[in-house]
Structure 1
Amino acid sequence: MSREAIGENGAVLGSGDYWSRVNRSTFFGGLMRRASEASYQEALREAGSRASDMVEEIYNDLQEHKKQLASIDSGQRNALAK
């Protein structure tokens, strides 16, 4: 009689259900295209690319309005810098 390997999350190791449960219990769940996949390298590459795009957009906005930044209240400017 064969027995399937069951993970700590109660699902058969390597199954779609297994990966879904692993992903839901970690921050990876929100990064994956499908909850049942395990292509973490691709998910991290995509997240890094999106973060890079976001930083570039913010940088471009700041560059476009750099003359106006001097007139912003110092408290608000410091909050923006953070």
Structure 2
Amino acid sequence: MSASINPYIQRIQEFNKDIEGLKLDRAVLQYELDDYKRYPVTTISIDSINEQIQHIDALINQIEIKIIQVSKLLR
């Protein structure tokens, strides 16, 4: 089977793109969080940013589980 027509491989590639996007979002949030922590009093809730980071981490974990499940179908 060719990788270009195998739907399982295509799906894994889509999942990997999703993960890369989420990792980029997480990196931006982490940068903002580190930046806000330098100020004595912030106008942005640090807890809110931490919650967003945790949510992104959970999404990444869910997608990684889906990749494992789809990978099992390739064997």
Do both proteins adopt the same fold according to a TM-score greater than 0.5, normalized to the shorter chain? no
Higher relative contact order (CA 8 A, sep 6+): 2
TM-score by length of 2: 0.44
Larger radius of gyration: 1
